[in-house]
A and B are shown apart, each in its own frame.
Chain A
Amino acid sequence: MGTPIGSVLVANRGEIARRVFRTCRELGIATVAVHSDADAAAAHVAEADAAVRLPGSAPAETYLRADLLVAAARSAGADAVHPGYGFLSESADFARAVADAGLVWIGPPAAAVEAMGSKTRAKELMAAAGVPVFAALDPAAVTPADLPVLVKAAAGGGGRGMRVVHEQAALEGELAAARAEAAAAFGNGEVFVEPYVEGARHVEVQLLADAHGTVWVLGERDCSLQRRHQKVIEETPAPGLAAALRTELHEAAVRAARTIGYRGAGTAEFLVSADGRPYFLEMNTRLQVEHPVTECVTGLDLVAWQIRIAEGAALPPGPPVPRGHAVEARLCAEDPARAWQPQPGDLRLLDIPGVDAEFAVPPGREAGLRLDSGVTGGERIGVHYDPMLAKLVAWAPTRAEAVRRLAHALERARLHGPVTNRDLLVRALRHPDFGAARLDTGFFARHAADLGLVASAGGGDADDERLAALAAALADAAARTGAPGAPVPVQLGGWRNVPSQPQLKTFRAEPDGRTYAVGYRLDRDGGLTAEGHDGVRLVSAAADRVVLEAAGVRRTYRVAAYPERTFVDWPSGSAAFTVLPRFPDPEQSAAPGSLRAPMPGTVVRTAGFAAGDRVEAGQPLLWLEAMKMEHVIAAPAAGTLLELTAEVGRQVELGAVLAVVKEEREGTAP
Chain B
Amino acid sequence: MSALDVGGAEFAERAAAMTARLAELAAAHAEALAGGGPKYVNRHRARGKLPARERIELLLDPDTPFLELSPLAGWGSDYTTGASLVTGIGVVEGTECVVTANDPTVRGGSSNPWTLKKALRANEVAFANRLPVVSLVESGGADLPSQKDIFIPGGALFRDLTRLSAAGIPTVAVVFGNSTAGGAYIPGMSDHVIMVKERAKVFLGGPPLVKMATGEDSDDESLGGADMHARVSGLADHFALDEPDALRIARRVVARLNVRKAGPGPRPDPAPPLFDPADLLGIVPGDLRTPFDPREVIVRIADGSEFDEFKPLYGPSLATGWAEVHGYPVGILANAQGVLFSAESQKAAQFIQLANQRDIPLLFLHNTTGYMVGRQYEQGGIIKHGAMMINAVSNSRVPHISVLMGASYGAGHYGMCGRAFEPRFLFSWPSAKSAVMGPSQLAGVLSIVARQSAAARGLPYDEEADAGLRAAVEQQIEAESLPMFLSGRLYDDGVIDPRDTRTVLGLCLSAVHGAPVEGARGGFGVFRM
Interface residues of A (CB under 8 A from B): 476-477, 480-481, 485, 487-498, 500-501, 503-505, 524-525, 582-584, 586, 589
Asked if residues B242 and A584 are in contact (CB atoms below 8 Å), the reply is yes
A488-B326, A490-B61, A497-B496 known; 6 new pairs, CB 8 Å cut-off, are A480-B62, A487-B265, A488-B509, A497-B71, A498-B33, A524-B503
Asked if residues B500 and A497 are in contact (CB atoms below 8 Å), the reply is yes
| Interface core residue of A491, A492, A582 (most chain B CB under 10 Å) | A492
Sort A-B residue pairs by CB-CB distance and give the 7 closest, nearest first: A583-B248, A495-B65, A500-B53, A477-B63, A488-B510, A498-B68, A480-B63
Choose one: B32, B94, B266, B507; the contact of A498 (CB below 8 Å). B32
B268 at interface, CB cutoff 8 A? yes
CA distance A487 to B89 in the complex (A): 14
B278 at interface, CB cutoff 8 A? yes
Known contacts A492-B507, A493-B63: A524-B499 contact under CB 8 Å: yes
Asked if residues A589 and B506 are in contact (CB atoms below 8 Å), the reply is no
User: Could you name 27 residue pairs across A and B whose Cβ atoms are closer than 8 Å?
Assistant: A476-B62, A477-B63, A480-B61, A480-B62, A487-B510, A488-B327, A488-B328, A488-B507, A488-B509, A489-B65, A489-B510, A492-B64, A495-B66, A495-B503, A497-B66, A497-B496, A497-B497, A498-B68, A500-B33, A500-B53, A501-B57, A505-B62, A582-B244, A583-B247, A584-B241, A589-B241, A589-B245
Asked if residues A497 and B63 are in contact (CB atoms below 8 Å), the reply is no
Asked if residues B506 and A492 are in contact (CB atoms below 8 Å), the reply is yes
Contact with A along B44-69 (1 / 0, CB 8 A): 00000000011001100111111110
B504 at interface, CB cutoff 8 A? yes
Asked if residues B63 and A582 are in contact (CB atoms below 8 Å), the reply is no
Known contacts A501-B57, A524-B277: A494-B245 contact under CB 8 Å: no
List the B side residues contacting A476 at CB < 8 Å.
62-63
Asked if residues B63 and A494 are in contact (CB atoms below 8 Å), the reply is yes
Known contacts A487-B510, A584-B241, A589-B241: A497-B91 contact under CB 8 Å: no
Asked if residues A494 and B62 are in contact (CB atoms below 8 Å), the reply is yes
B492 at interface, CB cutoff 8 A? no
CA distance A504 to B71 in the complex (A): 23
| Interface core residue of A485, A497, A582, A583 (most chain B CB under 10 Å) | A497
Asked if residues A584 and B62 are in contact (CB atoms below 8 Å), the reply is no
CA distance A485 to B269 in the complex (A): 9
B306 at interface, CB cutoff 8 A? no
Complex: chain B residue closest to A589, CB-CB:
B241
Complex: chain B residue closest to A480, CB-CB:
B63
A579 CB, nearest partner CB in chain B, Å? 10
Asked if residues B54 and A501 are in contact (CB atoms below 8 Å), the reply is yes
A273 CB, nearest partner CB in chain B, Å? 61
List the A side residues contacting B277 at CB < 8 Å.
524
CA distance A525 to B279 in the complex (A): 12
A538 CB, nearest partner CB in chain B, Å? 14
Choose one: B61, B266, B268, B504; the contact of A497 (CB below 8 Å). B504
| Interface core residue of B66, B96, B241 (most chain A CB under 10 Å) | B66
CA distance A503 to B60 in the complex (A): 11
**Interface hits, B267-281 → A, CB 8 Å:** 268, 277-278
Interface residues of B (CB under 8 A from A): 29, 32-33, 53-54, 57-58, 61-68, 71, 89-91, 94, 96, 241-242, 244-245, 247-248, 265-266, 268, 277-278, 326-328, 494, 496-497, 499-500, 503-504, 506-507, 509-510
List the B side residues contacting A480 at CB < 8 Å.
61-64
CA distance A488 to B91 in the complex (A): 11
Choose one: B91, B245, B504; the contact of A586 (CB below 8 Å). B245
CA distance A104 to B510 in the complex (A): 73
Known contacts A498-B33, A498-B68, A501-B54: A488-B245 contact under CB 8 Å: no
CA distance A476 to B62 in the complex (A): 9
Asked if residues B57 and A500 are in contact (CB atoms below 8 Å), the reply is yes
CA distance A589 to B244 in the complex (A): 13
CA distance A311 to B305 in the complex (A): 77
Asked if residues B500 and A490 are in contact (CB atoms below 8 Å), the reply is no
Known contacts A488-B266, A488-B327, A489-B510: A494-B242 contact under CB 8 Å: no
List the A side residues contacting B328 at CB < 8 Å.
488
Complex: chain B residue closest to A520, CB-CB:
B63
List the B side residues contacting A495 at CB < 8 Å.
65-66, 500, 503
Choose one: B57, B63, B71, B89; the contact of A481 (CB below 8 Å). B63
List the B side residues contacting A498 at CB < 8 Å.
29, 32-33, 68, 71
Asked if residues B68 and A503 are in contact (CB atoms below 8 Å), the reply is no
Asked if residues B268 and A582 are in contact (CB atoms below 8 Å), the reply is no
Asked if residues B63 and A584 are in contact (CB atoms below 8 Å), the reply is no
List the B side residues contacting A487 at CB < 8 Å.
91, 94, 96, 265, 510
Complex: chain A residue closest to B60, CB-CB:
A494
Asked if residues B248 and A497 are in contact (CB atoms below 8 Å), the reply is no
A160 CB, nearest partner CB in chain B, Å? 48
List the A side residues contacting B248 at CB < 8 Å.
582-584, 586
Asked if residues B53 and A492 are in contact (CB atoms below 8 Å), the reply is no
Asked if residues B245 and A525 are in contact (CB atoms below 8 Å), the reply is no
Complex: chain A residue closest to B507, CB-CB:
A489
List the B side residues contacting A501 at CB < 8 Å.
53-54, 57
Choose one: B68, B94, B241, B503; the contact of A492 (CB below 8 Å). B503
A486 CB, nearest partner CB in chain B, Å? 9
A304 CB, nearest partner CB in chain B, Å? 55
| Interface core residue of A477, A488, A496, A500 (most chain B CB under 10 Å) | A488
A484 CB, nearest partner CB in chain B, Å? 9
List the B side residues contacting A504 at CB < 8 Å.
57
Asked if residues A496 and B63 are in contact (CB atoms below 8 Å), the reply is no
Asked if residues B499 and A490 are in contact (CB atoms below 8 Å), the reply is no
CA distance A494 to B66 in the complex (A): 7
B127 CB, nearest partner CB in chain A, Å? 19
List the B side residues contacting A586 at CB < 8 Å.
245, 248
CA distance A504 to B91 in the complex (A): 16
List the B side residues contacting A582 at CB < 8 Å.
58, 62, 244, 248
List the B side residues contacting A494 at CB < 8 Å.
62-65
Asked if residues B62 and A503 are in contact (CB atoms below 8 Å), the reply is yes
Complex: chain A residue closest to B66, CB-CB:
A496
| Interface core residue of B63, B68, B241 (most chain A CB under 10 Å) | B63
CA distance A485 to B265 in the complex (A): 10
A488 CB, nearest partner CB in chain B, Å? 4
Asked if residues B64 and A489 are in contact (CB atoms below 8 Å), the reply is yes
CA distance A508 to B277 in the complex (A): 38
List the B side residues contacting A525 at CB < 8 Å.
278
List the B side residues contacting A584 at CB < 8 Å.
241-242, 244-245, 248
CA distance A313 to B500 in the complex (A): 80
CA distance A488 to B324 in the complex (A): 13
Asked if residues A497 and B241 are in contact (CB atoms below 8 Å), the reply is no
Complex: chain B residue closest to A492, CB-CB:
B65
CA distance A148 to B26 in the complex (A): 75
List the A side residues contacting B265 at CB < 8 Å.
487
A203 CB, nearest partner CB in chain B, Å? 56
Known contacts A498-B29, A498-B32, A524-B500: A490-B64 contact under CB 8 Å: yes
Choose one: B33, B96, B497; the contact of A489 (CB below 8 Å). B96
List the B side residues contacting A589 at CB < 8 Å.
241, 245
List the A side residues contacting B503 at CB < 8 Å.
492, 495, 524
B501 CB, nearest partner CB in chain A, Å? 11
List the A side residues contacting B63 at CB < 8 Å.
476-477, 480-481, 493-494, 503
A655 CB, nearest partner CB in chain B, Å? 21
CA distance A481 to B91 in the complex (A): 12
CA distance A504 to B326 in the complex (A): 27
Complex: chain B residue closest to A590, CB-CB:
B241
CA distance A476 to B63 in the complex (A): 9
CA distance A477 to B96 in the complex (A): 18
CA distance A480 to B112 in the complex (A): 39
CA distance A491 to B64 in the complex (A): 8
CA distance A36 to B233 in the complex (A): 58
CA distance A582 to B247 in the complex (A): 10
CA distance A526 to B488 in the complex (A): 31
List the B side residues contacting A497 at CB < 8 Å.
66-68, 71, 494, 496-497, 500, 504
A525 CB, nearest partner CB in chain B, Å? 7
